Structure 1
Amino acid sequence: MEFTLSSCSHSDSSPKPATAAALVGQMIKRSLVPPKWNVSVRAVTMSEHREAALTLAHAFAADDYAKYLVDPGISAAEEKWKLHVDIMTYAVAAHCINGLVTTIGPDYDSVALWLPPGKDLDGWWTLFRSGLWRLNFQLSREGRKRYFDEILPLLHDTKAAVLGERDHEAWYLVYLGTKPNSQGRGYARSLLEDMIRRADRENRPIYLESSALANNVYYAKFGFEVKKEIYLQREQAPIRLSIMVREPRRGGGQLPPSSASNTISSSSSSSSPVPVSVVSSPSTSSTPSSSLPSSSTMTMTIADSASSSSSSLSSLGVDDHGDHGEGREKGTIMIAEEIKYA
């Protein structure tokens, strides 16, 4: 016996798509993905943190800073990737809880992690619920030394030294990243400009840490200036991070021309997210090794790590189209978590 699908209607007069293209067009129109996600910035909720984390994981997959944390003591590529994804997942969750996570694009194409003025990730509830506490068990012995004894203290102290009395008044860009296959569409630019407008309205500076010189040029177009350069030294080739700060401008200043006409709507709390970038001191980019910070001076508690984890490696891989070198912007130094990319 042969079965066939048939319409319940006896009439054959109902309109039908004439071509495959028409059918596809009809399916697109009926998509459950909100159309405005393509052009507007929105806040990410806790229920979406894993999707946003995957975007950052892919954006920072080739980032030197990310590898600096994951490589020590781990040889299997699959294990490295899993740890990398976990780190990003914890970071995004922590910022959803006590910071601000923004995204744009139909599939979380670009994501930014921000710490608003006066906010940190040190609270026990944030550390517990986000999963950041797991890093103490997941990182290798050398990885723990790099993260807890070197990175967190260095980022925390550098931010305090660069911003001074304004340390708790600035927006901190922890991570800004775009999926490799979504770069060149201006998504990162949209996320960055959205926060710039907010910071200018509030008369607040924006702080971030950049791990790529190419990103420094990109950020400079938006008014960011290199203030200092710091180095992670527990490897043969030190990892350089450029600390950048953008001062608030009345009227929003002059932003570089953009083909995208979006504005970001953040549904976060009243406080704005803080962009993080690598702050550099007024020294030349070719700082001699003798002047590099000593690792012996870096020690930090888990609580302190939350503050430094908010540091951002946002300048990684930023391209001229507004997306970080395909997802490479370093952001928060994972406090037991994360990072960002612009």
Structure 2
Amino acid sequence: MGIRIRRATSDDREAVVQLVSAAFEDDPVSCWVFPDPAERSRVHAPFLGVFVDQALAAGRVDVMEDGSAAAVWLELPGGEPEQDNETAARMREIAGPHNERAREVGRLTGAVHPHDRAHEYLVLIAVEPGRQGQGLGAALLAPALERCDRDGVPAYLEASSARSRRLYERLGFAFAGEAVQLPEGPLMWPMWREPRPWP
């Protein structure tokens, strides 16, 4: 495809946040967490920006050179995770004190997230809305998954739509066996990818 991928820096933060917000504006989970379109428009970028900040500080954000796609990764060690009270507090503040749905997503996905092995966690992958379905997501993930294979590290994510689940299955992810059902809302599919043998 002739694409160029690089690691994002703090200088890319605002562009990545805006891209992620636009890509997830109509996502089933985003619409469930923020059902009012005006409220979603107001808080969506700051809310998802918390994930971007977390990855820029303690993970990795890969971006296409032309700004059309970004992937937000965290490296998680094995064992029970430490409580990140600061991040949780920021998200509560942005979502609003009465938004129980944001907390519910975290609680339900956290309950099924595997912690017995160190792994790469794909928190978010975003493709510019006008360019979705062109293979950019798969192209962006290829080097990261190759790195996982080379290092013998599994990868994990939660698919938030049937369409994204099919993409991840093509990339070697498998449904982890227990879907997350948001109350009166959409499903999320936890997916795990074992590293492939490296030459």
TM-score by length of 1: 0.52
Any conservation in 1 of the 2:47–2:95 contact (CA below 8 Å)? no
Amino acid at match of 1:110: A
Match of 1:52 in 2: 16
Shift of 1:136: 2.3
Trace 1:265-280 onto structure 2 (pairs within 5 A).
none
Residues 1:232 and 2:191 aligned together: no
Judged with a 3 Å threshold, the aligned counterparts in structure 2 of structure 1 residues 104 and 133 are, in CA distance, closer, same or farther, namely: same
SS at match of 1:248: coil
Match of 1:325 in 2: none
Amino acid at match of 1:242: W
The separation in 2 between residues aligned to 1:94 and 1:117, in whole angstroms, is 12
Judged with a 3 Å threshold, the aligned counterparts in structure 2 of structure 1 residues 192 and 199 are, in CA distance, closer, same or farther, namely: same
Amino acid at match of 1:101: V
Match of 2:41 in 1: 81
SS at match of 1:96: helix
Choose from 111, 116, 127 the match for 1:157. Answer: 111
Q: Which runs of 5+ in 1 are unaligned?
A: 1-37, 253-342
Shift of 1:139: 2.2
SS at match of 2:176: strand
The separation in 2 between residues aligned to 1:220 and 1:146, in whole angstroms, is 28
Q: Which runs of 5+ in 2 are unaligned?
A: none
Match of 2:192 in 1: 245
Judged with a 3 Å threshold, the aligned counterparts in structure 2 of structure 1 residues 42 and 156 are, in CA distance, closer, same or farther, namely: same
Judged with a 3 Å threshold, the aligned counterparts in structure 2 of structure 1 residues 121 and 102 are, in CA distance, closer, same or farther, namely: farther
Shift of 1:59: 0.6
Match of 1:211 in 2: 160
Structure number with greater Rg is: 1
The separation in 2 between residues aligned to 1:123 and 1:142, in whole angstroms, is 20
Match of 1:188 in 2: 137
Report percent identity of matched pairs. Answer: 23
Match of 1:117 in 2: 76
The separation in 2 between residues aligned to 1:122 and 1:58, in whole angstroms, is 29
Q: How many residues align?
A: 195
Any conservation in 2 of the 1:94–1:121 contact (CA below 8 Å)? no
Match of 1:68 in 2: 32
Any conservation in 2 of the 1:54–1:88 contact (CA below 8 Å)? no
Any conservation in 2 of the 1:41–1:103 contact (CA below 8 Å)? yes
Deviations 1:173-223 (A, max 9, x none): 100010012334432112211111000011111111011112222211111
TM-score by length of 2: 0.87
Any conservation in 2 of the 1:95–1:121 contact (CA below 8 Å)? no
Shift of 1:238: 2.6
Shift of 1:99: 1.2
Any conservation in 2 of the 1:224–1:245 contact (CA below 8 Å)? yes
The separation in 2 between residues aligned to 1:246 and 1:50, in whole angstroms, is 30
Higher relative contact order (CA 8 A, sep 6+): 1
Amino acid at match of 1:212: S
Deviations 1:50-73 (A, max 9, x none): 1101111111110111122222xx
The separation in 1 between residues aligned to 2:29 and 2:176, in whole angstroms, is 19
SS at match of 2:77: coil
Amino acid at match of 1:151: V
Match of 1:313 in 2: none
Any conservation in 1 of the 2:75–2:119 contact (CA below 8 Å)? yes
Match of 2:57 in 1: 97
- Judging by fraction of residues, say which structure has more strand: 2
The separation in 1 between residues aligned to 2:136 and 2:105, in whole angstroms, is 29
The separation in 2 between residues aligned to 1:190 and 1:242, in whole angstroms, is 22
Shift of 1:121: 8.8
Deviations 1:80-108 (A, max 9, x none): 212011112222112101111111031x2
The separation in 2 between residues aligned to 1:105 and 1:185, in whole angstroms, is 16
The separation in 1 between residues aligned to 2:155 and 2:141, in whole angstroms, is 10
The separation in 2 between residues aligned to 1:230 and 1:91, in whole angstroms, is 20
